[in-house]
């Protein structure tokens, strides 16, 4: 054990994924019943640190909400010199609460924050939150390793780190310019996630079999949509090779019995050759696994879709965002709804389940644009869709002038896309809520949609089991149109 003067182990870190709200509300949080995704970023960092000789353990409070005592017990038993927290905007305040809890138990411990929220706000985090000792901006593996290797020394010159020097001044060493070669990374340390894989679940009706999990095979996105945070990877785009990806899936199959994967990439098919090579491996050396992925319409065609289907592709998600082309053009490149509709029909023709990803409440939204969106989406052969409430996050281009575009209640703990924190000019929150409910109701009233869910009885029996177990919670959610946990806070 390598200890500093306070008796803490400088070669050990506890990585924490905060819940984001009061643990008493977790049992009724509909979003947790529908989907619990493993914290893949923390698992990847843990594997990298372990390879570099640093002990890293993970406590996932989102999967295991009653974790405060687990955290303090771990700190008491193992004396880590560091805790690391990866936070979204909505979970950041809960992250600071956890640090206060830990520092009351062990005052000498140092808290490192990473993730999209702090990567966007940078120096402001240390200026406004004294409980935070370091911020890691951008990709975490290499930066965090060097920070921990520095121990109690000031991390001068370590790119990607924000810290306070001996005088209390906040110092930012700038973005890390070198980028990791993704094929050089070890597989994420899934075994450090308590209860994996059974503690985690994909969205209902979004998989054929269990156990299933998520996997990330690329980082970044080359596009610049107004609503997307680019503070971690910026606009660079890297990806694992087909060979690495196949080995990763084989590892998940052999070690954990995983039968279905959701690729949590922004653009799975951006590099066509990679997808063709991966599909060939899955066809020539079958693993008995299926997969989902997300794509942009510009990067698929019928030949590729047929190949993906043969390789085990079960569902494809596409970002539609809105069915009003004029509104869409304000927020993303290549706003061609005709082309998008054609590609969705090709996905269905290839025999792949189709999911549309949409937003309501974008700047410039109106009742007319919402009606256009409903008309457009309901004309398409999509099987499922997710309608998010637009939220302007720090790090997204539109955040810079968002107050000019509507009314924005910047309450970080509520910025989880479950409520209309932003209301565009010309709209009001109550009417947006009414239209949101109408959108969902109109979707589920359509006979072909209902028949599709009936077909899930044999296509995804585990989804129906979960739906039945949580039926009354889903009904209450549909009636209240809000996160059930928030209703009790």
Across the range 17-35, mean pLDDT stands at: 83
If pLDDT is split at 50, 70 and 90, which confidence band does 478 have? low
If pLDDT is split at 50, 70 and 90, which confidence band does 485 have? very low
Q: What is the pLDDT of residue 256?
A: 98
Q: At residue 267, does pLDDT exceed 60?
A: yes
In this predicted model, what pLDDT tens digit does every residue of 421-470 receive, in sequence order? 999 999 999 999 999 999 999 998 888 888 988 998 899 999 999 888 87
Q: What is the pLDDT of residue 446?
A: 87
Q: What is the pLDDT of residue 196?
A: 97
Q: What is the b/e burial string over 165-198, where b = at least 16 CB atoms within 10 angstroms of the residue's CB? A: eeeeeeeebeebeeebebeebeebbbebbeebbe
Q: At residue 32, does pLDDT exceed 60?
A: yes
Global pTM value: 0.92
Go through the domains of the chain in sequence order and give each one's CATH number.
Answer: 9-172 (3.40.50.280), 202-487 (3.80.30.20)
In this predicted model, what pLDDT tens digit does every residue of 55-83 receive, in sequence order? 999 999 999 999 999 999 999 999 999 99
Across the range 380-399, mean pLDDT stands at: 93
Across the range 96-125, mean pLDDT stands at: 95
Q: Whole-number mean pLDDT of the chain?
A: 91
Across the range 95-114, mean pLDDT stands at: 96
Q: At residue 89, does pLDDT exceed 90?
A: yes
In this predicted model, what pLDDT tens digit does every residue of 360-369 receive, in sequence order? 999 999 999 9
Q: At residue 375, does pLDDT exceed 60?
A: yes
In this predicted model, what pLDDT tens digit does every residue of 147-188 receive, in sequence order? 999 988 999 989 999 999 999 999 999 988 888 899 999 999
Q: At residue 486, does pLDDT exceed 60?
A: no
User: For residues 474 and 204, which has the higher predicted lDDT (pLDDT)?
Assistant: 204
> 56: which strand partners?
13
Of 44, 36, 17, nearest to 219 (Cα)? 44
How many residues comprise the chain?
Answer: 489
In this predicted model, what pLDDT tens digit does every residue of 182-217 receive, in sequence order? 999 999 999 999 999 999 999 999 999 999 999 999
Q: What is the pLDDT of residue 236?
A: 76
Q: First CA to last CA across the chain, in angstroms? A: 43
Q: What is the pLDDT of residue 467?
A: 86
The token pair that represents 267 in the structure block? 């653009």
Judge whether 111 and 133 are in contact, CB under 8 Å. Answer: yes
């Amino acid at each position: 054990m390598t200890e500093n003067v306070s008796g803490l182990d400088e070669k050990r870190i506890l990585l924490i994924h905060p819940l984001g709200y009061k643990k008493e509300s977790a049992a009724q949080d509909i979003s947790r019943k529908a989907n619990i995704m493993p914290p893949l970023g923390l698992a990847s960092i843990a594997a990298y640190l372990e390879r570099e000789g640093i002990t890293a353990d993970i406590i996932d409070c989102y999967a295991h909400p009653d974790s405060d005592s687990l955290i303090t017990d771990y700190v008491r038993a193992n004396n880590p010199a560091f805790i690391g927290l990866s936070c979204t905007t909505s979970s950041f305040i809960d992250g600071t609460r956890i640090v206060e809890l830990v520092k009351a138990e062990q005052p000498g411990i140092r808290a490192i924050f990473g993730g999209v929220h702090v990567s966007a706000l940078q120096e402001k985090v240390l200026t406004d939150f004294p409980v935070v000792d370091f911020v890691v901006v951008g990709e975490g593996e290499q930066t965090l390793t060097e920070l921990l290797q520095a121990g109690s020394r000031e991390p001068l010159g370590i790119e990607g780190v924000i810290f306070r020097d001996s005088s209390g001044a906040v110092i930012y060493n700038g973005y890390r310019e070198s980028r990791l070669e993704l094929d050089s990374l070890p597989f994420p340390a899934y075994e450090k996630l308590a209860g994996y894989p059974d503690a985690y679940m994909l969205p209902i009706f979004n998989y054929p079999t269990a156990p299933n999990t998520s996997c990330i095979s690329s980082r970044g996105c080359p596009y610049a949509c107004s609503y997307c945070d680019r503070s971690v990877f910026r606009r660079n785009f890297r990806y694992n090779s087909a060979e690495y990806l196949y080995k990763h899936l084989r590892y998940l199959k052999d070690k954990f019995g995983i039968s279905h994967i959701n690729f949590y990439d922004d653009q799975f098919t951006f590099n066509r050759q990679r997808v063709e090579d991966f599909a060939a491996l899955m066809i020539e050396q079958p693993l008995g696994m299926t997969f989902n992925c997300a794509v942009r319409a510009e990067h698929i065609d019928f030949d590729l879709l047929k190949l993906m289907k043969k390789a085990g592709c079960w569902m494809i998600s596409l970002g539609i965002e809105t069915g009003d082309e004029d509104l869409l053009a304000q927020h993303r490149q290549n706003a061609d709804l005709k082309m998008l509709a054609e590609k969705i029909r090709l996905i269905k023709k290839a025999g792949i389940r189709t999911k549309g990803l949409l937003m309501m409440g974008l700047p410039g939204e109106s009742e007319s644009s919402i009606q256009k969106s409903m008309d457009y989406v309901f004309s398409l052969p999509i099987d499922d869709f997710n309608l998010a409430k637009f939220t302007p996050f720090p790090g997204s281009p539109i955040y810079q002038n968002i107050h000019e575009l509507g009314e924005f209640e910047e309450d970080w703990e509520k910025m989880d896309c479950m409520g209309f924190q932003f209301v565009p000019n010309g709209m009001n929150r109550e009417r947006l809520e009414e239209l949101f409910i109408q959108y969902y109701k109109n979707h589920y009233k359509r006979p072909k949609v209902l028949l599709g869910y009936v077909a899930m009885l044999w296509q995804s029996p585990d989804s129906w089991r979960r739906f039945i177990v949580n039926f009354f919670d889903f009904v209450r959610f549909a009636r209240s149109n809000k996160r059930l946990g928030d209703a009790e806070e």
